[in-house]
Amino acid sequence: MVTTRLQSAAQRKAPPPTQEPPQDAQPFQMRDMYMCLMESRMQALHRGQVATAEMIIGLYDTPPSRKWTMDEFNTIMGWPENQAQASGARATEASAMEDDDEDDDYEDGDEEEEDDD
């Protein structure tokens, strides 16, 4: 029993197994450690980008009760010439004003010709 105690005490006081110092690591082990570190960094960046994208979507996403139709979107967000075409009154009014200007130019030209005679 005494020998058993001495043996167990000797086993408990044994120094821990030594680890290899980093400079003794093989090149492929260093490469693997580096690649593992880079992979964890890339995963952390990706998680941050996903969180940012979800936040932006949450800020600008319209509630499901109010979705725009394509006609509403085109009416509000269309190019200026599309908006003029969408509004028949404005388009008709604009073309009538252009016609009046052309008629005025033509009439002014006729008067000048009559004065020359």
List, in order, residues 6 or more apart from 82 with CB less than 8 Å away.
74
- pLDDT tens for 60-103 read 776 666 777 888 877 777 766 655 555 555 555 555 556 655 55
Which residue type sits at 53? Answer: A
pTM above 0.75, yes or no: no
DSSP H helix total and E strand total for the chain: 5, 0
d(CA 9, CA 3): 10
Q: Domain map of the chain by residue range?
A: 27-86
What does the DSSP 8-state code read for residue 23? G
Average pLDDT over residues 30-42: 93
Average pLDDT over residues 18-45: 82
pLDDT at 102 (0 to 100): 58
pLDDT at 58 (0 to 100): 80
Residue 95 CA to chain centroid, in angstroms?
Answer: 42
Containing H/E element for 104?
helix 88-116
Residue 30, SS3 per DSSP: helix
